[in-house]
Structure 1
Amino acid sequence: MLRFATWKLASVLALVAAAVLVILPSFMPAQAVDALAARLPSFIPLRQIVLGLDLQGGAYLLMEVDTASVTKSQVEALRDDVRQKLRDGKIAISGGIAVEQRGVMVRIADPAERAKALDLLQSLSQPIGGPLAAGNGRTLDVKQTDDGVRLTLTDAAIADKVRHAVGQSIEVLNRRINAMGTKETVIQQQGPNRVLIEAPGSQDTTALKNMIGQTAKLEFRLVSDPGDPPNEVETLPMQKGGGSIQVQRRVMVDGEDLVDAQQSFDQQTGEPDVTFRFNLRGGQKFGQVTSENVGRPFAIVLDGKVISAPVIRSPITGGTGQITGNFTLDEASSLAILLRAGALPAKLTVIEERTVGPGLGQDSIDAGKRAAYVGATLVVIYMIATYGVFGVFADLALAVHILLIFASMALLGATLTLPGIAGIVFTIGMAVDSNVLIYERIREEAHLGRSVISALDAGFRRAFATIIDSNVTMFVAALILYLFGSGAVRGFAVSLGLGILTSVITAVTMTRMMIALWYHRSRPKTLPI
């Protein structure tokens, strides 16, 4: 039926007006948008379209998770777990616990104690992924040897830890980079052990790499005593001033229990420092350690380097403390950001780095504009030449279609890339394709002798199923590209998917509305196509 209720017409006009208002900030300077946003209520969306790395320039970093550091962390954790298990089982260790490349070796001379330790340590081997995922293998290979028990991390366990390390790294990097004030940075996984970082608008990668390159693993360890066993002590370098210091391998408190860290100033010297605060569990552990070790030096270790080793003068039971180390203001601020964001689970190594200049990005924008203008112009001319006034309606619907795409991208915060522009240009042809299906169906109905209104109604009704089928298949293809693609492929998929959705609305609803208004106004005896 070619009848539209007044509220439907008003809804369509309101949708177009809303799209214009949403897209308007993208044509305004950023300062003007910020000033306007401060005056308007927070629920009013005031966003600009985000330009990708290839359109506004920026930094590109491809980083790889260091599998060796992941394995080392797991081995160190395994050593502590083994020590605690044997201590709870009251099993004497004759030769100590030796750390190997992928596991630990416990030397026990007594065969009876060795068999008891084997049964006890078997419990450390757990199904990968938890009890419900027992088919994925186990975390440890526990075997008895002639002089003890050897625990080795399995290949599946290491691969699982690397996978989790990549996911944790992405979360931590998001918190770190956002704290730096960098906006619209793309951080995503690429392959099994790599992380891709794209920072549009950033041309200086030094600060970005410095922020990313630090693991920020904070540990509190006691400085070793002369009587400590050699295998329980390690020598660590000092972060400043050179030299080294011997500390216990055992970590008394680590940074996982930190809930806040802020740059501040020492009340006595006035130098910049970092004030930190633990959660309840960390505060209790910190208080217990400082209470039991008054008078001993307590080393503060960051990424394997000792920042400082102050002497514990009195128990620190409030769950807060200070990190001093002759910091500059920038160093203290950066350290506070790192500690707030949390430690990276493993070291990240830059394996590819490049920058895209803003000039090249502007060239891409200009080329994309030219392609869009040429494509749209050819489509407009063809539709008017072929379908007359109906072609004008299709062209108006096409303009609204493009408007809705950009408004949707602004609302969703989607990044517009050069492949995204290609996707939009592609949807220009797709959008009028639906109109072509409708108009050709109307022609067929008119040639069969139907009246004008009957041919119009039948054309829209019978072409609708074909339009839906073709667009659904294209949308599924765009969805697959988005789910399994990355980078440029995803940018193309986003614009293509949004274009498909909006083309259905404009080709079916808006074109039908304009033709209905035209028919009720002019009451033609014949069709102008």
Structure 2
Amino acid sequence: MKKGRSATLFILAVIIIISLAFAGFKGVEIGGWEFKSFDKAITKGLDLQGGVSVLMEITDENLSSEDLEKNLEKTKQLLDLRVNKLGVAETTVTAEGDRRIRIDIPGQFDSKEIVDSLQKTGNLTFKDSEGNEVLNGKDVEEASVMTDNTTGKPVVTLKLNEEGKQKFAEATEKNLNKTISIYMDEDLISSPVVESVISGGEAIITGSKTVDEAKNLAGLINSGALPVTLKVASIESVGAQLGAEAMPNAMKAGAVGILLIFLFMIFNYRMLGVIASITLTLYTMLVLIVFVEANVTLTLPGIAGFLLTIGMAVDANVLIFERIKEEMAKGVSAKSAVKAGFHNALSSIVDSNVTTVIAALVLYFMGTGPVKGFAVTLMIGIVLSMFTAIFITRKLTEWAINMGMLSKPWHFKVKRG
């Protein structure tokens, strides 16, 4: 009964792992439900799909180091919010030095409109016909885009906070049949005539020619005014073709590397090598699933980190298998050799992986951009490699022994004297 149960569990585990691998790399659609392939589901970085990298610099000179540090962080957060409000997905906003902020925008190649929006300080003001400010962006609670039922054109609707509601009611009462002009920074957006007192706390900005233009304006208003003035220090573009070629090439290199690892393990450890190959397949799937669920942005350095963890996962298996072979050479049974091998290798595996995790944490907290991506993939990979090596490999090995797949010394490539 034990042999049959172990055989059933082993075969079932192998089928599940192979099915998961097939679905992950090819994609599956069942009854309208789609399991996207990893190529479609994983968020790709700038170097894998092309795009634009914009480096912004603070131009204000009269700032103390304390104010500069505080404004840099606030500006970074506002730019991140602003870019995402503009509908640009998968962006990375990082500080470089004490005056510069880099915005990586994958998949976007026409950067002019985005750069123009980033450079605006985002200071919204309402002025009466005499040029007096009656309202500003701080009085706005939320901006959204709607279509005017009369003209069919997009408009930006503003919902004012309590203070803004009172200010706007007073301003419209004083300026009946006069204009209240709306400015974004120094640019005049619209200059409507006040036809009635507006006390409901809502205002409408007209003048947007397209929905995208209205969304940009709403995004600027929602993100708020920047505390400093910015200029573009540099713009770097990665072409769509270059980015498109990078991903397949990286996947081919990874596939060849993994295949060579499988062949090495099978040649050196025979049936144990087969089990290691099955486990590494599961490990690869688990890492990629975590990338998808955690919305990790995969870059070329990230792929390098991922492949490095595969090597570390193999290293863990090598440590275990060598200990098992040492026990088998002493003449003990396969079951005892496996138990002793895993026990003896555990401390070495934990020590080596913990030190690597510490190094990855240092890279994550001290590094920026691609370095952080490398560190994240490295940490995820290390944790999962320990799990698969210590638990999955052990369980598959125990089942293989119970079903008779691992019993003789040559199954382990061991020669007894």
| TM-score (ref. length: structure 1) | 0.67
In the alignment, does 2:51 pair up with 1:51?
A: no
Deviation at 1:184, TM superposition (A): 1.7
What does residue 199 of structure 1 align with? 105
Q: Are the structure 2 counterparts of residues 47 and 282 from structure 1 closer, same or farther at C-alpha, using a change threshold of 3 Å?
A: farther
In structure 2, what is the equivalent of residue 260 of structure 1? 143
Matched, 1:184 2:90: yes
Q: How does 1:206-355 map to 2 (within 5 A)?
A: 206-224=112-130, 247-248=131-132, 251-258=133-140, 259-265=142-148, 267=150, 273-294=155-176, 297-310=179-192, 312-325=194-207, 327-330=208-211, 331-355=213-237
Post-superposition offset of 1:260: 2.7
Amino acid at match of 1:373: A
Between the aligned partners of 2:268 and 2:25, the Cα distance in structure 1 is: 35
Does structure 2 retain, via aligned residues, the 8 Å contact 1:260–1:340?
yes
**1:219 CA drift (Å):** 0.8
Partner Cα distance (2:374, 2:70) in 1: 32
Is contact 1:57-1:355 (8 Å) kept? yes
Aligned to 1:514: 396
**Separation in 1 of the partners of 2:106 and 2:49?**
6
Give the 3-state SS of the residue equivalent to 2:55 in structure 1: strand
Cα offsets for 1:100-147 (capped at 9, x unmatched) = xx6xxxxxxxxxxxxxxxxxxxxxxxxxxxxxxxxxxxxxxxxxxxxx
Give how far 1:491 is off: 2.0
1:163 aligns with 2:72: yes
> Retained in 1: the 8 A contact 2:157–2:203?
yes
Deviations 1:253-275 (A, max 9, x none): 211222234344385x7766433
Structure 2 CA distance for partners of 1:213 and 1:436, relative to 1, 3 Å: same
- Counterparts of 2:366 and 2:390, CA distance in 1: 31
- TM-score when scaled to structure 2? 0.83
- Contact persistence 1:287–1:315 (CA under 8 A): yes
- Residue number among 424, 442, 445 corresponding to 2:327 in the alignment: 445
Map 1:88-103 to 2 at 5 A. none
Could you tell me how far 1:291 is from its partner in structure 2?
3.1
Counterpart contact for 2:79–2:118, Cα < 8 Å:
no
Deviations 1:390-432 (A, max 9, x none): 1111122111111111111111111121112212221222111
Structure 1 residues 408 and 63 mapped into 2: Cα distance closer, same or farther (>3 Å)?
same
What one-letter code is carried by the residue in structure 2 that aligns with 1:486? T
Change (3 A) 1:13 1:207: farther
In 1, Cα distance between the equivalents of 2:373 and 2:19?
23
Which one-letter code corresponds to 1:421 in the other structure? I
Residues 1:173 and 2:115 are matched in the alignment:
no
1:293 Cα offset (Å)? 5.0
Amino acid at match of 2:110: D
Q: Distance in 2 between matches of 1:414 and 1:366?
A: 18
Q: What number of residue pairs does the alignment pair up?
A: 403
Measured at CA, do residues 462 and 171 of structure 1 come closer, stay the same or move farther in structure 2, by a change above 3 Å?
same
Residues 351-399 of structure 1: CA distance to partner in whole angstroms, max 9, x if unpaired? Answer: 1112212221233224323322332233222222221211111122111
Q: 2 CA distance for matches of 1:332 and 1:400?
A: 47
CA distance in 2, matches of 1:491, 1:167: 18
- 1:524 matched to 2:407: yes
Q: Which residue of 1 aligns with 2:249?
A: 367
Q: Could you tell me which amino acid in structure 2 is paired with residue 188 of structure 1?
A: T
Secondary structure (helix, strand or coil) at the match of 1:399 reads helix
Could you list the per-position Cα deviations for residues 3-38 of structure 1 after superposition, in whole angstroms to 9, with x for gaps in the alignment?
Answer: 99x89x979967994996598466449xx89x746x
In structure 2, relative to structure 1, the CA distance for the partners of 1:53 and 1:270 (3 Å cut) is closer
Pair 28,174 (structure 1): closer, same or farther in 2 beyond 3 Å: farther
Higher relative contact order (CA 8 A, sep 6+): 2
Q: CA deviation at 1:202?
A: 1.8
Greater shift, 490-499 or 309-318, is seen at 309-318
1:61 aligns with 2:54: yes
Query: Cα deviations across residues 127-184 of structure 1 (Å, max 9, x unaligned)?
Result: xxxxxxxxxxxxxxxxxxxxxxxxxxx724532442343244234324423xx2x322
Contact 2:71 2:227 in 1 (8 A): no
Task: State the Cα distance separating 1:336 from its structure 2 match.
Answer: 3.3
In 2, Cα distance between equivalents of 1:168 and 1:456: 53
Q: Distance in 2 between matches of 1:452 and 1:287?
A: 86
Pick closer, same or farther for the CA change 1:166–1:301 going to 2, 3 Å: same
Name the SS of the counterpart of 1:350 in structure 2: strand
CA RMSD of aligned residues (A): 3.5
Matched with 1:380 is 262
**For residues 16 and 499 of structure 1, what CA distance do their matches in structure 2 show?**
23
Note closer, same or farther for the CA distance 1:374–1:285 as it changes in structure 2 (3 Å cut): same
CA displacement at 1:303 relative to structure 2: 0.7
> Is 1:166–1:189's contact at 8 Å kept on the other side of the alignment?
no
- Whole-angstrom CA distance in 2 between matches of 1:264 and 1:347: 33
**Mean alpha-carbon deviation: is it higher for 483-492 or for 11-20?**
11-20
Provide Cα deviations, 1:173-212, integer angstroms capped at 9, x if missing partner: 24423xx2x3222223333232222222222222322332
Letter in 1 for 2:126: F
